[in-house]
A and B are shown apart, each in its own frame.
Chain A
Amino acid sequence: MLHSRFLASVALSALMLGTLPAASFAETPADTLIQAWSIDDIISLDPAEIFEFTASEIAGNSYETLIGYDPENVSDIFGKAAESWTVSEDGKTISFTMREGRTFASGNPITAEDAVFSLVRAVKLDKSPAFIIGQLGMTPDNVEANIVQTGPMTFDFKMDKAYAPTLVLYCLTATVASVVDKKLVMEHEANGDYGYDWLKTNYAGSGPFTIKDWRPNEAVILERNAAYSGDAPPMARVIYRHIPETATQRLLLEKGDIDIARNLTAVDIKALEADPEVKIESGVKGSLYYLGLNQKNQYLAKPEVREAMKYLIDYTTIADTIMAGKVKVHQGFLPEGFLGAYDETPFALDIEKAKALLAEAGLAEGFKVTMDTRNTPEITAMAQAMQQTMAQAGIELELIPGDGKQTLTKYRARTHDIYIGRWGPDFQDPHTNASTFAYNIDNSDEASAKPLAWRNAWDIPELSASTDAAMLEPDAAKRAEMYLAAQKEVLATGPFVIYAQEIEVFGERKNVEGVIIGPSFNDNNFAHVTK
C-alpha cells in the first residue's frame, strides 16, 4: 500500500510538473533510484527460470550466486556465498565451503543445505537456464547424487568429466546458481514444485536489495535488504518503471522525473550529450549482433558466397551512424573481455572483392535471398543498410519483418535464408559461445541439441570435437589458444557474419554516481549508487 501511494504521488508530481515552466524539474526522492526501462520481457522472478535481460539484472541485485567475478576484470573470480573451494585430483569433484554467519533477508542462516537445494532445484525444475548446470553432467535423475552436502557449511559438486575448472566456476556465477532460502521456499511448496509457483512472483534471497513488488508491464520495486552481509546500499529503493517508448524515457530524464533512462537510441544519446543535467555512461556488453546464413539455401551453402557476404557489410558505417554509441565493430564469436576473444576485424566493406568471390561461385549475376528481420527500429535500420550494400554486388535481399517470436520461431525451425539476430552469452566462460557457434554434432532435423550452428545447418564434426576438447582443457593459456583458432576458423568459413558487439548505454541525471555497468545484465549493479 505504502508503495502504491508513493508511486501515485510520484505520478502526481510528474503531472503537476507538466504545467510548470520548462526550466524547473521534478526531483526524485533522495533515497530512491528511479529507472525507466522496457521491462516487458520479465516472465518470472525465480532464479531457476530467469533467462531474460531485465529479470537477470534484478536477480543480480537481489540474489547472491555461489561464485562472483569482478565486472571490470572478468577473469578475477571470487567466492560470494561460497568462501572457498578445492578441486579433487581427478578434476571431477569440486568441494565448496560456504561463508559463515550470513543470513537471508528472511533472517534464516545461509548454509550448505540452501546451496545444494538451490542447485538441485534448478536442475530438477529444468527451466530454460537449467542447462548451464546440466551441461556439467547433471540431469534431473542424477543431480541429487552428484550435488551432496558433506557438512553444515560444505558440499561436493561431482561431474561426469574433468571440465576446465574456470568453466565450472563461471557456470556457478550465472543467475541460475543463485542461492535461495530453502526454509522460506519450502514453506510455500505445493505438489512437489519446489515452491516454483510462489517464487515466480516472490523473493527468497540474500542480495543487497529485496524484490518488494513486481507488477507486469508497470513496475518492479526493489528495497534495501536490512540483513545484507555487505555494506548497506545507500539507496533505500530502486524502482524500475516500464516505459517502452524511448522518446518518453528521454523526456522524463530531461525533466528529472527519472534518474536513469535505459533504452535510449543513438539519436537520443547524441542529443542528450549536450544537456548539462544529464550524463551518458556506457559499458561493453557480451551480446553480439550477427547474421545467420542457412546452409540449406543453395546459394548460401557455397563457401565463396559465405565469404562474400562478410565483405558486403559496412561494419564501421553501421557502428558510427545507425548504432552510434551503442555498438562497436566486432567479428569473432567471443565478445571482447572473454578468455581467448579474437578482437581483430579482418573484414570490411569491399564490393569488388565480394563480386569477384560471387563470380568464382558462378553467381556473377547475383541472386535473391530473404532475411527474417525483427521489426524493432534498430534491427530494421541495420537490415536496410545491409540491403543497400548487398544490392551493389547484385544480391537482392528481401526483408521479411516479424516480431521477435515469429522470426525466432522460424530461425529455430531453420526455415530461414538469413536471420539477423543478437546473441548474448549465458555465462562468462568462452564455452558458452563456442558451444553454439562452433558446435553441431548432429545436423539432422531431429537433433536434440540445437546450437546456432545447427540452426544454420552447418555440419562441423571436426570443429565440434575441438570445442569439446577446449571444454576439458585445464590450462587457461592453452584453452585461450584453442578458442582463438576456433574463432578464426568460424570467421573464415562459418555461416555467421558477426558484425558488432553491444555497448549498453545509460542516460543518467548528473548527480547519480556509482552505477556499475557490467559485461552481462546480472552484473549491472546499483548497490553502491548515490545521488
Chain B
Amino acid sequence: MTMTRDWLLSERPASRRQARIGQIYRTWLAFRGNGLALFGACIVLALVVVAILAPWLAPHDPLIGDLNHTRLLPPLTEGYWLGTDEQGRDILSRLLHGARITLAVVALVAVIATPVGLLVGTTAGYFGGWVDTVLMRITDIVLAFPKLILALAFVAALGPGIENAIIAISITAWPPYARLARAETLTIRNSDFIAATKLQGASSARIIWKHVVPLCLSSVIVRVTLDMAGIILTAAGLGFLGLGAQPPQPEWGAMIAGGRNFLVDYWWVATMPGLAIFTVSLGFNLLGDGLRDVLDPRGRK
C-alpha cells in the first residue's frame, strides 16, 4: 500500500486507519494554506529546537559572567551578539537556556490543566443535574478570580520557585477548558450515537472517555494553544515579580525584572528577553488561530 495523495484523499477509505490519516492530511492541507499559522508553527518549532539544543547553541555559560570585563556590553559586541547583563553574562546564552524553562512551563501547564478541565467539563455536561451544578459552581468560583492575582496568591502560599509557579498557573488555567468541554458535551450528549452506545451497555466512564472526550478535544486544543501565550505571560509575570524561577535561572520574566533597573542606560538587558517573550507569544497565538480555522468545522465557510 503506497501512501499516495489519492489514497490519502480518497472519498471511500477502505479502513478506519485510512480515514483517520486522510482526515489528518486534509487538516494539514488546510493549515498549510494559512501563511500566518505556518509562521506561528515555525516559531513554536524553533522554540522546541532551541530548548533541546540550548547547551550546544549557547556560546557562553548562561549562569557565570565576568563582572570585571564583560559587564553590560552593548548588543553586537563580538562574541556577545545580544549584549551582556549586569552580572556580565551573555544575554543570548541566557535566552537560549531560558527557552527550556519557558517550554517546560507551557508543556507542564498544558499537561496538568487540560485533562483536569476536560474531565470536569465532560463529567458535568454528561451527567447534568447536581453533578453539573456542583462542578460548574466550583469552576465559576475559580473563574471569578483574576488569573494573575490568584496565581500570585498560590505562589505566595507555596513559596517562590518554578515548580510552584507551574502548579499555581495550572490551578488557574483549567476552568475555561471545563466550561468549553461542558458546552461541547451538552451538544452531543443527546445524540443518537451516544444513545446507541448506552443501549449497548457501555458505562458512563467509557462513553465519556471514548465518545465525548474525542469530540471535545479539538476545540479544547485550539483553546489551549491560544492560551499558551497567556501562560507564558503569566509565568513571565511571576518571574518578574520574583515569584517564578529563581536566580540565577535565566527565566525570561526574571531577566526583564533584572534589566528594569538599567532601562535608561542599558536598554538591551530588559529588551532582549522582552522580545523573546513577544515572539514566542505571537507564535503561539498565530498557531492557535490557524488551528481554530482548520479544526473548528463551524468556522469553515
Contacts and interface: CB of A to CB of B under 8 A. Distances in A.
Contacts of A399: 246-248
Interface in B238-284: 242, 246-248, 258, 261-266
A316 to B, nearest CB: 9
B160 interface: yes
Interface in A388-407: 388, 391, 398-401
A246 B261 contact: yes
A317 B68 contact: yes
Interface residues of B, number: 20
B247 A385 contact: no
B64 interface: yes
Interface string B3-47: 000000000000000000000000000000000000000000000
B247 A388 contact: no
Nearest to A399: B247
A409 interface: no
A251 B248 CA distance: 30
A401 B68 contact: no
A401 B246 contact: yes
Contact of B87 (A271, A375, A385): A385
A249 to B, nearest CB: 11
A387 interface: yes
Nearest to B261: A377
Interface string A238-262: 0000000011001100000000000
B263 A247 contact: yes
Contacts of A400: 160, 246
A296 B71 CA distance: 36
Given A267-B265, A385-B67, A401-B242, A322 B247 contact: no
A322 B248 CA distance: 16
B266 A321 contact: no
Contacts of A318: 67
A467 B265 CA distance: 48
Chain B contact residues, majority secondary structure: loop
A385 B247 CA distance: 11
B179 to A, nearest CB: 36
A515 interface: no
Interface in B73-88: 86-87
A391 B242 CA distance: 22
B261 A321 contact: no
B248 A384 contact: yes
A387 B247 contact: yes
B264 A247 contact: yes
Interface string A314-326: 1001101110000
B67 A380 contact: no
A265 B247 contact: no
Interface string B91-109: 0000000000000000000
Contacts of B71: 321
Contact of B67 (A250, A265, A314): A314
B32 to A, nearest CB: 46
Given A246-B261, A250-B264, A267-B265, A381 B87 contact: yes
Given A247-B263, A381-B87, A391 B64 contact: yes
A383 interface: yes
Contacts of B230: none
B64 A388 contact: yes
A159 B248 CA distance: 52
A381 B65 contact: no
Nearest to A377: B261
Given A317-B68, A384-B247, A388-B65, A401 B266 contact: no
Contacts of A246: 261
B39 to A, nearest CB: 36
B242 A265 contact: no
Most buried by B among A322, A384, A387, A398: A384
B54 interface: no
A381 B242 CA distance: 13
B63 interface: yes
7 contacts: A247-B261, A247-B263, A271-B264, A320-B68, A322-B86, A384-B87, A391-B63
Given A400-B246, A401-B246, 13 more contacts: A246-B261, A250-B264, A251-B264, A265-B261, A267-B264, A268-B264, A271-B264, A317-B67, A384-B87, A384-B248, A387-B247, A388-B65, A401-B242
Counting from the closest, the 9 A-B pairs by CB-CB distance are A377-B261, A321-B67, A317-B67, A375-B242, A388-B64, A271-B265, A384-B247, A401-B242, A399-B247
Interface of B: 63-65, 67-68, 71, 86-87, 160, 242, 246-248, 258, 261-266
Interface of A: 246-247, 250-251, 265, 267-268, 270-271, 314, 317-318, 320-322, 375, 377, 380-381, 383-385, 387-388, 391, 398-401
